[in-house]
Each structure stands twice: as structure tokens, then as C-alpha cells.
Amino acid sequence: MIENSDFRIEEPDLSSKYDVDLIRRFLSPLGFYFDESLVEYSVILYNLNDDIVGVGSCLGKILKYVAVAPRFRESGAFAHIVTHLTEHVMNHYQQAFVFTRPDNILRFEGLGYRHIASAQPLISVFEFGYKDINDYKKYLGTIRSTGGEKQVAAIVMNGNPFTLGHQYLIEKAAVENELVYVFVVETEKSVFKFGDRYEMIRRGTRHLPNVRLVKGGEYVVSCATFPNYFLKNETPDMVTQKQAELDIQIFCKHIVPKLGICKRYVGTENYCATTQLYNQAMKTILPFKGVELIEVERKQLTEGVAGDFISASKVRQAIKNDDAQRLNQLLPQSTIEYLKEMNLSAIEQQLKTADLRH
Amino acid sequence: MELKTKAQAGSFESSDVLILVEPVEKGAGRIIELKSIVMQQFGDDLLGQIHANLDDFKIDDVRLIINDKGALPPTVSARLETALKRAAQLQSGTLK
């Protein structure tokens, strides 16, 4: 019989090679490769003989690498670690997320974590805290149109910044549907802040009465559910693909029924492998969930010239190069005006020093 | 008792209860989200006990998220008291 009071929790120093090695050696026979650059806080649970009972880590509001040695799995060690990490996360955030393999669904549900969705057979995501997906659904309820429209489309965009290409996609959807919801990615991992991106999209769609803007929250291409989207990654792996699937599963399970969405519009992807994978995953999942996927050819700057399409990354390049003429070609008037209002020098500086993907 | 910040007490372990406290605006009332593995058997009792405890502390406006894993009534009261005192920043001499 193992008592929980026999456990002692320690916070290793992640800058120490010795401590990192300790965790890595513990995790590797359990099938994890511990990458200390992907966590910012870790704990190790010992028993009184100084055996490692289990470990756990977190990055932001996401719990990671939670594992307990097989011979201690009948004890409360797992709950002990999760409690400690949850408390740590709650000091800074309103909710905690867990990514794990679907065979752990019962373990986390047993603790009180809520299962949001799974991408079989690799990833399930859970949440716990002051806020949950029902709060987001309530928010969607306030956005929801009461007009009884039948042809309802959705577009998800980051809009970093909002270009003529984005506008073209929204306009096309607005003509072909009675109502269009535009989800703006809320995660702050882009050069332009969410507030600015949202405002640029709002101004750029003001002339379209049947377009409604929606905040993406934690559940639409967010840091919590699709972290690899925000990494620069030339060769996306299985994990990225499963995260993309997870994002789409959440979309289908929680958002589509709430807003009555029947179509989703995306632009064709020409350069980013992660987004290509995302589009591919949509093609395989959405039709089975009753959502039609409409892939729209990107708007060309000059007809017939291959590769001469509009993209936000070209805009960022132009900002970096102070190329005003190029910007005029790529951006709608509303964005050009907005960029004049805001302080671009900080953005320029950021673009010059960092190499961000989205 | 005036609640100042969000706070937490208890754990996810079996026979324990995890309680999250969040201050809300005056007049919002008691928003209690109770989840228990013995909801069917003792859900009403638990809720009654929590209301009685809140009455004792004269707290009318609060949001509680309670994740019960079969804690005994004294455990629930103790966890709630600790969580509330942490939220009110009254707790001294214990863990934060």
C-alpha cells in the first residue's frame, strides 16, 4: 500500500543538463522523447527512497509529458502530478489543456478533465478550469444570426495582415452564400496583434452586410489545439497532421452545429507545407461531417503569370523592404489606411529580426 | 468575507475534492458548477452543505467550480474554507 504522503514533489532546474537528463532517462523507456525546449516548467515526483515515481511538465497553459512509472500506477501519483501542474497553470491562466494519446481518455476524464476531441490514433485534447468550450459556444450563440439563413459558410483566417486575397475569398463566399462567418485566429503568435488583425478584417469587409466576424478563441487554429501551425516547419510530420485533424474535429463537433455551417472556404496553398496539410485534412474529414469544402484558387496579381498570387507573406516581405508600390498592389485601401494609422516601425523591426511563418 | 482573487484548494486524488474559486461582480449570485462521482447519491447533500458553508462566511456572490472525487463532508468543508480564504487573501501560515 502506497500512501500519497510518501511522495515528495521537486521542481528541477531545466537549465541544468543533469536535471534534464534525469527526466529524459525516466521518460525514454516509457516512449517519450523529452525535449526541454518545448516546456517551461517541470516537476519530478519522488518517493521516500528517492525513486522517481513520475514526472510532468507544462508550457503555457498546456500540460505535457505527464508520466508515471508502471509500478506506481495504482497509487495517486498521477493525480498528484496533474493537481500540481494544474495549480501552476491556473496561477496564470483561466484554463489548462492536456494533449495525450487517446488511450488516456479515461484517465483524464476520471480526474475531471473534459474531453474536447480526438484525432485517432495519436492525439486527444482535454481542458479544465474557469473557462471551457461551453463558454465559447455561448459566445458563438451571441454572434449567431437569427435570420434563419440556410446557405451558411465559414472561413478561418489569420489575416497577418489582411490582403486583397483575403478580401477576394470573403467576397466570393459572401456572393455565393446567404451568410458568412469569418473566424479570426486569436492566438498571438503573429507579427500583427489580434486586435489589429481583427480591425483590418472588419474594415475590409464593411461593405458586405452578410459577413460576421468571430473570434477564434482557444478552439480555432489556436496555440492550445494546433501548436505546430505556429512553428516554422518545412517538413510537417505525423504530429502536425494529427493536430490539423484535431482542429477540424473540434470545428465539426462543436462549432458547425452551433452556427449551422454547411460550407467552408479556403484559399489554395502554394508555399506552406503545414497549411497544405491542413487543407488536405479538411478534404478528408469535412465531407463526412456534412460540410462542403470549397477550395478557391488564390487571386492572381497578373492574369496568367504563374506564382504571381497574393499572399500575406509577400506583404510582410514588402513591409520589410519598405516597398510602398508593392503594398498598394497587394492590399485593399482599408488595410493601407489602417497601416498608416498604426505604428509600423515596431512591426518592421520585428520582421527584420524574426523569421515567422504566419 | 471579500474575495479578491481566484484561488484553488484540494486535489484530483480519489476521496478528495478540487475547488476553484473565482470572484464575481456583486449581485451575480452564487454560480456553482458541481461535478461529483457520487452526484446521483449525494449531489443534493453536497450542494446543500456548500450553500450552508457560504452562508457561514456571508458570501453571496461567487463562482465555484467543484470537482469531487468522493470526498467526505468535512473534507469538502475544509477544502472550501481554504479555497475561500486563499481567494480572500486571509490565509496565512499555510501554503499559498
For residue B63, give the chain A residue with the closest CA.
Answer: A130
What are the tens digits of pLDDT across the range A68-112?
999 988 888 999 999 999 999 998 999 999 988 888 899 999 899
- What share of chain B in percent tops pLDDT 70? 94
Q: What are the residues whose beta carbons fall under 8 Å from the beta carbon of A166, sequence distance 6 or more?
A: A157, A159, A201, A204, A312
Within 8 A of B18 by CB-CB distance, chain A residues are 83, 86, 112
Average pLDDT over residues B39-47: 95
pLDDT for the residue numbered A318: 87
Q: What are the residues whose beta carbons fall under 8 Å from the beta carbon of A250, sequence distance 6 or more?
A: A116, A117, A125, A219, A220, A225
Contact A76 B14 (CB under 8 A): yes
Domain ranges of chain A: 4-129, 134-353
Contact B14 A130 (CB under 8 A): no
pLDDT for the residue numbered A13: 94
pTM, two decimals, is 0.85
Q: Does A83 lie at the interface with B, CB-CB under 8 angstroms?
A: yes
Q: Is there a shared CATH topology between the A4-129 domain and the A134-353 domain?
A: no
Within 8 A of A77 by CB-CB distance, chain B residues are none
Q: A340-348 contacts: CB < 8 A, separation 24 or more?
A: A342/A196, A344/A319, A347/A191, A347/A192, A347/A319, A348/A319, A348/A320, A348/A322
Superfamily designation of domain A134-353: HUPs (3.40.50.620)
Contact B13 A80 (CB under 8 A): yes
- Fold exhibited by the domain B7-87: Ribosomal Protein S5; domain 2 (3.30.230)
pLDDT for the residue numbered A188: 86
Contact B20 A83 (CB under 8 A): no
Contact A4 B63 (CB under 8 A): no
Given A76, A82, A130, which is nearest B20 (Cβ)? A130
On the question of pLDDT at B93 being above 60, the answer is no
- Fold exhibited by the domain A4-129: Aminopeptidase (3.40.630)
Within 8 A of B14 by CB-CB distance, chain A residues are 76, 79
Contact B65 A130 (CB under 8 A): yes
Q: Does B94 lie at the interface with A, CB-CB under 8 angstroms?
A: no
- What share of chain A in percent tops pLDDT 90? 54
> Alpha-carbon dihedral of residues A132, A135, A136, A142, nearest 10 degrees?
180
Cis ω for the linkage preceding A161 (within 30 of 0): yes
pLDDT for the residue numbered A358: 59
More confident residue, A2 or B14: B14
What are the tens digits of pLDDT across the range A247-264?
999 999 999 999 999 999
For residue B32, give the chain A residue with the closest CA.
Answer: A130
Summary mean pLDDT of chain A: 88
- Rounded to a whole number, what is the distance in Å from the CA of A89 to chain B's nearest CA? 11
Task: Give the lowest-confidence range in A299-303, A338-342, B69-73.
Answer: A299-303
